[in-house]
Structure 1
Amino acid sequence: MSRAKKLTQPATAARTSAGVSFAANLTFENVCHHFGSKEILCGIDLVAEAGGILCLLGPSGSGKTTLLRIAAGIERQSEGRLLLNGREMAGPGVFVPPELRGVGLMFQDYALFPHMTLLKNVAFGLSGLSQAAARRAAGSALERVGLSNRGDQYPHMLSGGEQQRVALARALAPRPSVLLMDEPFSGLDSRLKDVIRTDTLQILRETRATAIVVTHDAEEAMRMGDKIALLRGGRLVQTGTGAELYRNPVDLFTAGFFSELNVIPAEASGGRVITALGPVGETALCDGTKLTVALRLMGLRLGESEAGVLGRIVSRRFLGGVELFTVVVEGIDEPLRSRMRAGVVPDDCRDVVVSIDAQDVIIFEKDVGGR
């Protein structure tokens, strides 16, 4: 039994393997959407590949949930097309209603019916089956998520983690070809989130359904997604694997979404990128070209004898296994931050040598992106 089950459901039966769905490609073609004169989405071209997990990532108001609602058929886009395995679900003159799309939707607040038992909640969307068949399918879905012996209970009798499992069981019961999940873990406390998320990921892999997950948490997107689509202001900024977006961000906004950054000015000189901390990389740009250097906190090192420039610690905060430092360096207007293993810098140390780990440096031309 997993740790999550010990924490949230001490009397729960073991979870069985999930039934297999028939996964499908879901394609957004030049999707745009407006509310009156306000542009919500603009020119979204994106494919959720069959059997894979696509994470829609971005800040609040970036259009993630609107895109999910368009996929579900709750919203109808202003322009563009939505295709499921090449068949047009929504477009000019075409609109397939939600119940005929073979798409499952799991809401952020779980949306369980409080007056229904868990078994009836899960069976609610199985209207095409006989009562007996729907009951069997609902029981099987509850068994997949480890709640087979709780079917006669009501939602108010469950913890948040257990309610999340019921919502997942209800979404999976009809064996959807695409499962849409709108920030499914936002209601869970941090103690349970990692475990519930891991169990959910295992169930998604077992069902083999295509999944689209909305999140504003970059780490969550990297943990879950086979592919990540980063949105900003209704536009697609970058798509790729978590490693691709982390290592090769197209702009400063993307870099800042995946890690905390120190942002410092730089200039090209003699084929090198020069900052107040010294050279941090190479460039083919002309001498004098203004650049921006993004430096991850773990890449700013503080020591007493290493090569670098002098700095002074103005604050430090113990965070358990690491410490967060604020340090000032001559020639840089804003204080810099460094995240280092706890105990590496002596408690009484104030004056340090500041150096850079080149693998945590990202160089942009001055006008590329913003935050």
Structure 2
Amino acid sequence: MAQLELKGIVQRYGGHTVVDGVDFRLEAGRIACLLGPSGCGKTTLLRCIAGFEEIAGGEIVLRGETVSRPGRRIAPEQRRIGMVFQDYALFPHLTVEQNVAFGLGRRPGGEAQLRVRQLLATVGLHGQGGKYPHELSGGQQQRVALARALAPRPELILLDEPFSNLDVGLRERLSVEVREILKREGSTAIMVTHDQNEAFAMADEIGLMYEGRIQQWDVPYNLYHRPANRFVADFIGQGVLVEGTVGEGNSVAMELGTLVSDTPVECSESCTGCDCGCRVDILLRPDDIVHDDASPVQAEVLHKAFRGADILYTLRLASGTEVLSLVPSHHNHALGEKIGIRLDADHVIAFKKHDECSDAACEIQLEQRRAQPVTWAGSAG
């Protein structure tokens, strides 16, 4: 039985649909993330799960019990859900211990005190229980908020942009620490964020949202290497789309070389196989393009971003097409210099070009950025 299951969730504000038919399942002990740009519906969906809002359609099931459907909503306090808010929402007049104990209600004093001490040790705040929130750093306050949410051992923990008020360095470190804490407690959790680095650091599985729909629910590796459509490919990581042409033997030729697939080309939902001559857009990540002085393919350095161990180069090919390449920083090339590059692509995703749509159904699907990709397993030649 899934810890949480959403079935066709719809939420509207007036005539505007904010969440449009969302489905997913989350097993016990898993950490999920709702990721997406501002206004995509992820926070609204989190509020529906928490019970703060009624839903217009669908069903929310928690541990086999329906907690929301149109016309029926179990109150938030009866759902056994813990919530960590963006602004921490700590009580300023209560000590750290009192804040954490607040969620325990009327449990016996000795039992409550033991649970509070255990949680403060778990979140790295042993000996800080007598302090007040204003005496703590932002990262410490976030740990207190997490401990308070964990105190009553809820069925589910919800985290709404929990690191957005912290500086970048602390945000990255704390996201790893919070994941370890949740795993240690055996908690099931859902986090909302617009930051993919936080999502990758925290989550076992990620639902990428756009315009009220989940575009892809998957593990972080697949979101990066096997994006389900153009929106996912564009939002996750960095990369460019390079034009290619389908050839014989499941091959695709492009300016940088030829890729050979072990399966037929299927570059959109309405295509069962692409014919020779079909034009496609191929997604290339910076790590798919390798610096190689011996390569006959030359590219001009347009921009460079020093990243310590690596330099991210923006390169212009002979045709004018721009690509990205991540190169060890001891290869420090000047702007305007030409360098040799070659393909080293294990995961290359192809999409049918928008202007190549041959029927109305394909055109609509591509307009909605819902084309089905194909994963290539081949080498450049």
* TM-based fold match above 0.5: yes
Q: Is the 8 A contact 2:95 2:132 kept in 1?
A: yes
CA shift, 1:127, in A, is 2.2
**Alignment RMSD (CA, Å):** 2.3
Gap change, CA 1:145 and 1:24, over 3 Å in 2: farther
CA shift, 1:241, in A, is 1.5
Give the distance between the partners of 2:182 and 2:335, measured in 1 at CA: 50
CA shift, 1:214, in A, is 1.4
Indicate the residue corresponding to 2:295 in structure 1.
306
Gap change, CA 1:348 and 1:224, over 3 Å in 2: closer
Alignment partner of 1:359 out of 331, 343, 346? 346
Q: Where does 1:177-196 land on structure 2 (aligned, <5 Å)?
A: 177-196=155-174
Give the distance between the partners of 2:20 and 2:334, measured in 1 at CA: 52
Indicate the residue corresponding to 2:91 in structure 1.
113
Give the distance between the partners of 1:214 and 1:348, measured in 2 at CA: 40
CA shift, 1:62, in A, is 1.4
Indicate the residue corresponding to 2:66 in structure 1.
88
Equivalent residues, number: 347
Q: Would you say 1:277 and 2:256 are equivalent positions?
A: yes
Q: Would you say 1:173 and 2:160 are equivalent positions?
A: no
Gap change, CA 1:24 and 1:152, over 3 Å in 2: farther
Q: Is the 8 A contact 1:24 1:177 kept in 2?
A: no
CA shift, 1:203, in A, is 1.5
Indicate the residue corresponding to 1:15 in structure 2.
none
Gap change, CA 1:188 and 1:304, over 3 Å in 2: same
Q: Is the 8 A contact 2:133 2:141 kept in 1?
A: yes
CA shift, 1:328, in A, is 1.5
Gap change, CA 1:238 and 1:24, over 3 Å in 2: closer
Q: Would you say 1:204 and 2:193 are equivalent positions?
A: no
CA offsets, 1:296-315, max 9 Å, x none? 012223333214x2322233
> Which sections of structure 1, spanning at least 5 residues, go unmatched?
1-22
Gap change, CA 1:35 and 1:233, over 3 Å in 2: same
Q: Is the 8 A contact 2:302 2:336 kept in 1?
A: no
Alignment partner of 1:123 out of 94, 101, 104? 101
Alignment partner of 2:276 out of 284, 287, 295? 287
Q: Where does 1:1-371 land on structure 2 (aligned, <5 Å)?
A: 25-130=3-108, 133-270=111-248, 271-282=250-261, 284=265, 285-307=274-296, 309-332=297-320, 334-346=321-333, 350-367=337-354, 368=366, 369=369
> Which sections of structure 2, spanning at least 5 residues, go unmatched?
266-273, 355-365, 372-381
Give the distance between the partners of 1:310 and 1:42, measured in 2 at CA: 47
CA offsets, 1:75-113, max 9 Å, x none? 111111111111110113321101111010101111112
**TM-score normalised by L of structure 2:** 0.84
Give the distance between the partners of 2:214 and 2:154, measured in 1 at CA: 26
CA shift, 1:344, in A, is 2.6
CA shift, 1:274, in A, is 2.0
CA shift, 1:143, in A, is 2.7
